[in-house]
Amino acid sequence: MVAVLVVGLKYYQDSRQAVEENSQEEENQDGHTPFDGIGPPPPPTPITGPPELGIYWESNCSTTVEAVEWGMLSPGETKSVTLYFRNEGDTKAVPSLNTSNWVFQDFNGTDLSEEYRDYFSLSWDYNSTAIEANQIVGVVLSLSVFLDIQEQDVVTFAFDIVIGW
C-alpha cells in the first residue's frame, strides 16, 4: 500500500535585484513585497492515504490529517510536523518514506529542472520497526531547505510525499 501526501510549498527568494527592478510594486497587506523573503504562507496541502494507514494530528487519533501547513521556508531553515500513524489493517507493516513529482518555478512561473530537489531534504524520525495492527506511532517529518539555494532562482516548489507499507 502507498499513501501519497501532496505537499505544496512556496519559497520566496531574497532578491535585492528583483526588489530594485520592481521598486514600484505595491506592498502586501503585511507591508512586505514577495521578494523580501517574507510572504504569505502557501495554502494547506491535502493528504491522502490507503485505508490501512490512518494519519492523525494527535495520539488519540481523533483528527485525521487532511493537509499539512509547512508555512514559509527560508534557505537554511528546517520545519517539522508531528503526525501519528495508526495501522488500521490486520497485519503488522513497516512504513517507508519517499518523495516524487518535484516541481520548481522561478519568478516568472517558468518550470525549472527537477534537479533543484538536491537543495531540499525530507526526513523523519521513524526507526523502521513494524507497526502492529491498531498500534499508534508518533512520527516527526522534517523539511529542510539548504543554504546553497540562495544562489538559485527557485520561488515556488511542490512535491509528493509517498508513504508505503
- Domain range for 75: 2-164
Torsion of CA 29, 34, 35, 36, to 10 degrees: 50
C-alpha cell at 48: 491522502
Tell me, yes or no, if the pTM score tops 0.85: no
Residue pLDDT, tens place only, 5-52: 444 433 333 333 333 333 333 344 444 333 334 344 554 544 545 668
What's the structural domain count of the chain? 1
**Which burial class, exposed, middle or buried, applies to 29 when counting CB atoms under 10 A from its CB (0-12, 13-18, 19+)?**
exposed
Question: Nearest to residue 102, comparing CAs of 110, 113, 91, 92?
Answer: 113
| 14 against 76, higher pLDDT | 76
- Mean pLDDT for the stretch of residues 94-121: 87
